[in-house]
Structure 1
């Protein structure tokens, strides 16, 4: 039986392979590999989401002929963008800008109203006990699973009974209901607003409304901004509901209005070719949403920082 001689071992091998420094180096290498992989994945996803916006920006700087003749992802004549914007002012009496104003009205009226309702309902479900709370909240969760397109026809029939078809209320009123916003506000309120803080405010003599406005609302700021943005974007991008409940061209949002131009352009020789106006109008309609996310991003960051301090 062979006897292992300790003197025959390489002491340098033992000192480097089993030292804490070597283990830390291997851990840093593994962590660095995972970090590189996550960065590569994020870059791929960023490119995936930026490509459509880049194409829309490039297409807005082309004439109708250049859209089909020049490279898809590069400019042909950047000065054509201003020509296209001027065409939006002139085409059909500049009705595009009326459509854009309608989109602002529907999105902000519906988004702000939906956010107010979601905040109040979420706070009530989270901090008040009442009979039937579980059943009602279960119904709200169930409504999240129902696609919005399935509710268009019942909504149309309900609104027609009250004579609201082809009015701005036909778009604003259904937009006030945001079940996912209520769910999000309840979950966030449960963690962000301690019950002890509310009890201390009540002991100090603050009423329920003062407690809500001065203590609860500042703590809910990140969730409020999130629900507001989701509600505004959802109403801005809504297509099927305005298509069903609005008939007058002067009341259409920009999504349905551009679709009408698209239908005419697809008609071939019988329709007017306004592809350059469609792409330019689509790009202009995306800019307010991008600016909203960029300007309100700091509220999310501030809310995360506040929530991390215990």
Structure 2
């Protein structure tokens, strides 16, 4: 566990140290300890690069990841709940298809998606990034498993006896019980969309529409037109929303939500 922790945390620590060095000295001196604290000056330089395009990239990423993860989580919750709690023809086949989709890397869909969006004139349109991001086979699978194990059938029957409709039972009762799983699905979707690079790079040509991942890679490959120090500081700032999302949502990971619910 210690080796794994070092493997994941050491690059982040290097990023923090490098972002605090004087501009242009990110790859000199001690790589794992501070030579000074110049983060404010470096951030100021970052924000003025390209007429402040970095802030636009960050807002784009927040929009794509936030909206895509929210809609994707809601659709995954409905699909997983239906597969777990309703019997209908073809349920097993649908779930098997979803399991097969989980095993296929999403990168394999990039070229077909690009061709489809090109045929319907959605290239250089934010919808080309948002539409694929709201579909999460893993989210449906996790939602189905959690709903089957954590939402008692007696709770659903009690709601029906009280006169609640099926959608109200789902939204007012089942979603509350499924909250820990839904938070997990949201975080998985958020991180996946935030870190997605290939699809946005292919379907978005306008720099003003690109997420921060595509923008930073473009800066890094600009043949020195953008200093490496600016890319390093941008990379550090780009992980802050992910950290904030985990810190804000971890309190929802709690068990025992249904304790006494059917008594």
TM-score by length of 1: 0.81
Paired with 1:98 and 1:259, the residues of 2 have a C-alpha distance of 15
1:287 paired residue number:
240
Residues 1:60 and 2:11 aligned together: no
1:60–1:84 Cα contact (<8 Å) kept: yes
| CA-based RMSD | 1.5
Q: Deviations over 1:240-299 (max 9, x none)?
A: 1101111111111000000011001xx3xxx32511111111100101101111121111
Q: Which has the higher contact order (CA 8 A, sep 6+)?
A: 2
1:306 paired residue number:
257
2:120 paired residue number:
162
Paired with 2:28 and 2:43, the residues of 1 have a C-alpha distance of 21
Higher helix fraction: Structure 1 or Structure 2? 1
The structure 1 segments of at least 4 consecutive aligned residues displaced by more than 4 Å after TM superposition are 307-310
Paired with 2:25 and 2:259, the residues of 1 have a C-alpha distance of 52
Paired with 1:68 and 1:221, the residues of 2 have a C-alpha distance of 44
1:20 paired residue number:
none
Paired with 1:294 and 1:174, the residues of 2 have a C-alpha distance of 27
Structure 2 gap ranges (5+): none
Paired with 2:213 and 2:259, the residues of 1 have a C-alpha distance of 40
* Superposition map of 1:87-102 within 5 A: 87-102=45-60
Paired with 2:256 and 2:81, the residues of 1 have a C-alpha distance of 22
Aligned residues: 261
* Superposition map of 1:178-193 within 5 A: 178-193=136-151
The offset of 1:49, in angstroms, is 2.2
Residues 1:121 and 2:72 aligned together: no
Structure 1 gap ranges (5+): 1-40
Q: 2:206 pairs with 248, 273, 298, which one? A: 248
2:23–2:42 Cα contact (<8 Å) kept: no
* Superposition map of 1:35-74 within 5 A: 41=1, 43-74=2-33
Residues 1:76 and 2:29 aligned together: no
Paired with 1:153 and 1:217, the residues of 2 have a C-alpha distance of 35
DSSP-derived class of the 2:24 partner? helix
1:148 paired residue number:
106
Higher Rg of the two aligned structures: 1
DSSP-derived class of the 1:306 partner? coil
1:66–1:76 Cα contact (<8 Å) kept: no
